[in-house]
Structures are given as C-alpha cells and as structure tokens.
Homo-oligomer: A and B are copies of this chain.
Amino acid sequence: MARERTRDDARGSAAPARRASDRGKYGRLSRERVLTAALELVDREGLSALSMRRLGAELGVEAMALYRYAEGKDALLDGLVEALYLELEERLSAGEPADDGWREGLHRVARATYDVCLAHPQAVPLLATRMLAVPLARRPLAVLKDHERVLGLLRRSGLDEAGTAAAFRAFTAWLLGYVEVELRPVVDNPDEPDPAFRLGLHRMPAQDLPTLRETAPALAEPGGPEGLSAGLDVLLDRFTGPDRPAPPRR
C-alpha cells in the first residue's frame, strides 16, 4: 500500500532523475541556510509554525536531514537565538564609531539589541525560554561574545568583578524586560474604529479596574528607544556609581 507522497508524486512518476537537485534554491544544505530559513519561517508565521518537518519542507528536504545541522529541536531553537545575536553583531560592527566611552558603547549595544528584537518579534520569547534552559557556558558563541562586549564596557567604568557582575545583571534585565514589555500586545482588535473597543475595554470589569481602563490608551503607545535609554542611564548611574553596595531599604 502506497504511503502518501508529496514532492515526488506531484511531479509525475515518469520523470527519471535529478531528484535532489531541486532542493533549496542554492544546492546543498548548510547550518546557515537552515537557521536563516528557520528565522524567516518564525518571522513569517510565528514560533508555533516551526517544526522539523515544516522547516524541512521549506528547504525542500525531509525533516531528518536537518539533524546534521542541529542536534534536535532544542538545539535548533538555540541556533535561532544564535542567529539573532549574529545579526546584532552585524549591526554593531556596521559603522562602528572608532571608540567612544563605555557609557555610549552600552547605549549602542542596548539600542542595537532593541532594534534586532523589534525586527524579529516572534522570536523574542526564545530569549526568555532558551536562556532559562541553557547554562551560561553552553550558550551559543555569539551570545557569549555579546556578554564579553558588555562586560568589557562595564569594566572600563572602573568596576571590580562583583560590581561588574551586578551591573551586567541590571543591564541585561532592563534591556530584556524593556523589549518584552514593548512587544506585549495591548490592542485587542486593530480593525475596530472606536478606540475603546479597539483596546477591548468592554472586557474589563469597570468597577474593579478603573485606573487600568483610563490608562489603557496611554499604554497602547510604545515606550520607544527613548524610554530604553532613559532607564538605562539611571541604572548605570546607580550600578556603576561610587556607592557600590545597595543601601539596604528600611
């Protein structure tokens, strides 16, 4: 009994040869081609559309062929994170300003990361999930290089190891959190003309949530890069200032 075929039968069974050469547009597979296609697919249809079979089809290849370039699905997702950081590195080295101060450097990194994330919103959840799943030393090399860059900039501010670590955590937390909050959808029904309905305010109990309802329109406005750098500045002041350990509250 014949199993259902897709690629071959569709072309007719009389065609004799050249079975594998109509694969992807450019000959053989490669890790880069796999990751690029994966990121494109995620950008286009979201994370849930990314499966080994689907990605294989996208590349004109069976699912198992991908296992030569990523050990499994999880490794593929880590590869996507890597791809994001490679894109970040690209943007950062493009038009690199000879050498400004450490503070400007950190703002540049933050802004570039922000831009990359907004360019691939569907992939951003990976930054949360995979980074929580993979210990520091096992993160993709591009990620570690980014860490190295940020840590180097922070050290140039005169911090010791402990202070650098604390400032690094603050930098990373703010950047990551800001991007995630920026990408949270607040509009419920974009096609609705009435602003209140567009926000879906009718779903919120009016008596329990008065402030939320009145603030919702303002929450629909994005924070933008200005908000990012404003918060970053005060955090850097705080975590690279002279009074290193936090004065205990209360």
Contacts and interface: CB of A to CB of B under 8 A. Distances in A.
Interface of A: 107, 121, 124-125, 128-129, 131-132, 134-138, 141, 144-145, 147-148, 151-152, 155, 161-162, 164-166, 168-170, 172-178, 180-188, 199-201, 203-205, 208-212, 214-219, 221, 223, 226-227, 229-231, 233-235, 237-239, 246, 248-249
A199 B168 contact: no
Nearest to A229: B249
A185 B229 CA distance: 27
Nearest to A203: B137
A180 B176 CA distance: 9
A216 B168 CA distance: 11
B234 A238 contact: yes
Contact of A124 (B132, B134, B178, B218): B132
Copies of this chain present in the complex amount to: 2
Contact of A136 (B148, B151, B184, B221): B184
A173 B165 contact: no
Nearest to A137: B200
A176 B181 CA distance: 9
A48 to B, nearest CB: 9
Most buried by B among A145, A173, A201: A173
Contact of A188 (B137, B217, B223): B137
B238 A183 contact: no
6 contacts: A136-B216, A138-B203, A145-B208, A161-B218, A230-B246, A231-B239
Contact of A212 (B148, B235, B249): B148
A24 to B, nearest CB: 30
A244 B235 CA distance: 17
A204 B137 contact: yes
Contacts of A151: 211-212, 215
A62 B176 CA distance: 39
A204 B141 CA distance: 8
Contacts of A186: 135-136
Contacts of A175: 177
A161 B235 CA distance: 24
Given A137-B200, A170-B227, 15 more contacts: A125-B128, A135-B187, A135-B200, A136-B184, A138-B188, A141-B208, A151-B211, A155-B215, A165-B218, A168-B215, A172-B181, A173-B181, A226-B246, A230-B238, A231-B238
